[in-house]
Amino acid sequence: MINLKKSWNKFSNASKAFKAGFWFTICNVLQRGIQFLTTPIYTRLLSTEDYGMYSVFITWLNIITVFATLNLSSGPYYNGMLKYEKEGDEYTSSVQTLGVLCTVVCFLAFTLSYPMIGNFIGLSYNLSALMFVVTLVQPAFQFWSVQQRLCYKYKSLILATIINSLLSPVVGIALVILGGYSYEGIIYGYVTGNLIVCGCFFIRNYIKGRQLYSYEYWHYATKLGIPLIPHYLSQMILGQSDRVMIKYFCGASEAGIYTLAYQVSLIMNLLISGINNSLNPWMYRNLKDKSYEQIKRATTQLILLVGILSGGAMLIAPEIVGILGTKKYLDAVWVIPPVMFSTCITFVYCIWGTVLFYFEETKKVAVATSSGAVLNVILNAILIPKFGFIVAAYTTLIGYTLITFFYWRFLNRVCESKDVEVKELFDFRMIMCILLALFLISMIVLVLYNFSNIVRYLVLLVIIVAVAINRRSVMKILKNTRIR
C-alpha cells in the first residue's frame, strides 16, 4: 500500500506532458485492444473467405482515404496547428472543408470509373460507396484528437475513443447475429459507428471554427499535404495492399488468413501507436528547443524496448493465433515473424521521419516510401503466384528495409543543411545492433516452430529470467523513456 501511495503521489506530481502521454497511451491501448478483442469474434462468425472480404474493404478504404482526404489530419496538421496556434479552430474548420471537397471530387471520379475497375476492387458499388462516407467524417475526429494531444487534454479523448471503438463492432456483430448478414454486416457496423461519432465532431469543428475557406490555410495545408500523397499511399501499399494482391492471385480465404497474422501485430501496435502519439508532439517541442540529447536517449531505449517485446511476441505466435482464430488460420503463424520485424523497422523509420516532418522535408519522405512501395508491388506480382501468400510478408519486409535506408540518408542530408549533428539526435550503431539481433531472433523462431512447444517455452523462459535478473536495468530504461 505504501508503494502504491508513493507511486500515485509521484504520478500526481509529474509534469502535465508526462501524465498526458501516459493517458494517451492508455487511450490507444483501449482503442487497439477493442479491435484486437473483436478479431476472435469475427473469425468465428465469418468464414475465412468472408473475413478476407472484410479485410479487403478496410484495405481499399485506407488507400482511398489518402486521395479523398490528402491525409490532412496527419503530419501536415501538426505543423499547421503549431504555425497557427492562436487560430487553431479557424484553421481546422477551413482544412476540413478542403478535405470535404477532395472527398466529393474523388467520389465522382470513382463513380465514373467503377465499370472499368469494379472487378479489380472486388466489392460491389454500394459497399465501395460507403468508403467515401467514412472518409467524409473520419478526419473530423482525427483533427479533434490532435488538438487534445497538443494541449495535453486526455479525459474527453479517452471517453470519445472508447465510444467510437465500441460502437462500430457492437453494431456490426448485432447485424451478423440478429440480421443474418455476413461480412456486409461488419462493414455496415463500421460505417454506422464512424458516421455517428465522427459526424458529431464534423459538426463541432464548424461550430467552433466558423470558417469554410481561407486561401492561406488551404495553401499551407496543400503545400505540405500534396507532396506527401505518395508517402501515405506507399504506407498503405506496404502495410495493406498485400491482401488485395493475395485475394487476386490466391483467393479471399488466403487473404483472410494473412489478415489474421497482421492482427497479431496489433499487440505491438498497441504499444507503438501509443508511444508515437505522445512522442511526436514531444519530439517537435524538443527539436524546437534543441534538446537533442533527450531525443537520443529516449528513442534508443524505446527502440530497444520495442525490439524485446517483438521477439517475445514471435515466440508465442502460435498461441496467439489459436486464440484469435480457429484451426483454419494455423498457416498465419509463418507470417508473424517477418511481420513483427517489419513493425519494429517501421517504428525506427517513423522516429527518423518525425525529424523530416519537423523540417518540412515532405518530398524526401515521399521519395523514400514510394520507392519501398513500388519494390513491394513488383516483388508481390512476381513471387505471390509462385510461392503463395506467405512470401508477401517478406516482400513487405524488404520494402520497409529500403525505406529505412532512404530515411537515414535523407536525415543525414537534412540535418547537415540545418547545422544539426545526426549523431547528437540518434545512436545509429546501437539501433542497427538492435535490429540485427531481432532479425536473428526471427530466423531462430521460424526454426523453433518445427520443434515441440517445450523448446519455445524454454527459450521464452530464458528471456524472462534474463529480464528478471536485469530488472533494475530494464526499469531504468522504462524510467528514462518517460516523456517529461
pLDDT tens digits, 237-289: 777 778 888 888 888 888 888 888 887 776 677 667 667 766 777 788 788 88
For residue 250, the SS3 value is: coil
CA distance 398 to 322: 28
- Cα separations in angstroms, 286 against 57, 112, 478: 39, 48, 19
Provide the residue count of the chain. Answer: 484
- Cα separations in angstroms, 19 against 99, 223, 354, 431, 438: 32, 34, 22, 27, 31
- The pLDDT of residue 345 is 92
- The pLDDT of residue 481 is 46
Instruction: Give CA 63 to chain center in angstroms.
Output: 13
- The pLDDT of residue 11 is 47
Residues of the chain under the 50 pLDDT cut: 1-2, 4, 8, 11, 480-484
- The pLDDT of residue 483 is 45
CA distance 36 to 47: 18
Kind and range of the H or E element at 403?
A: helix 391-417
pLDDT digits (tens, 9 = 90+) for 383-428: 999 999 999 999 999 999 999 999 999 999 988 888 888 888 899 8
- The pLDDT of residue 1 is 47
What contacts 24+ positions apart, CB below 8 Å, involve 243-248?
243/52, 243/55, 243/56, 243/59, 244/56, 244/59, 244/60, 244/122, 245/377, 245/380, 245/381, 245/384, 245/392, 246/384, 246/389, 246/392, 247/52, 247/56, 247/122, 248/120, 248/122
- The pLDDT of residue 105 is 95
- The pLDDT of residue 13 is 56
Q: Decide if 64 contacts 131 (C-beta within 8 A).
A: yes
Q: Decide if 100 contacts 136 (C-beta within 8 A).
A: yes
| Percent of the residues in the chain that have a pLDDT greater than 70, as a whole number | 88
CA distance 350 to 21: 18
Q: What pTM does this model have?
A: 0.71
